[in-house]
Amino acid sequence: MDTNTHIHDGNLIGIMINDVDIRLSIVREDKPHYINLVNVSFFKADNFLSGNIIFEARTKNIGDMSESELTSLLEDLIEEGLVNGVLLKRFISERKLYFELNPSYGCQITSICDNVEYEE
């Protein structure tokens, strides 16, 4: 998986949804950073709090994964009934990207989308 280190210890301060695109607003060392999730097929954010601190942001091309690897990554979402076998097969056939934002504190995000763009 590819890991973005430019936003480590940044603060996630906003999630903006515009139709099928989502923009994550981050402040690190008093500078704004953004992560744009393009053409989002699935998005889940848990535990959005005041003072969300980012540990890492990771992406992986779903086309490079086996179905069992993707199932393992989405295991909690499958157990919650948010993702099923039909969606898994669609994500694989459409060659989507898997994106996760892991916190040191606060919000964890999981998304399936066409592209992830980082802006500083």
pLDDT tens per residue across span 70-112: 999 999 999 999 999 898 888 988 889 999 999 999 999 999 9
d(CA 35, CA 120): 9
**58-78 residue pLDDT tens:** 999 998 888 899 999 999 999
Domain residue ranges of the chain, discontinuous segments joined by +: 2-8+40-115
Contact partners, residue 26, CB within 8 Å, separation at least 6: 7, 10, 11, 12, 13, 32, 33, 34, 35, 54
Confidence of residue 3 (pLDDT cuts 50, 70, 90): confident
Q: Comparing 4-8, 53-57, 95-99, 103-107, which segment has the lowest mean pLDDT?
A: 4-8
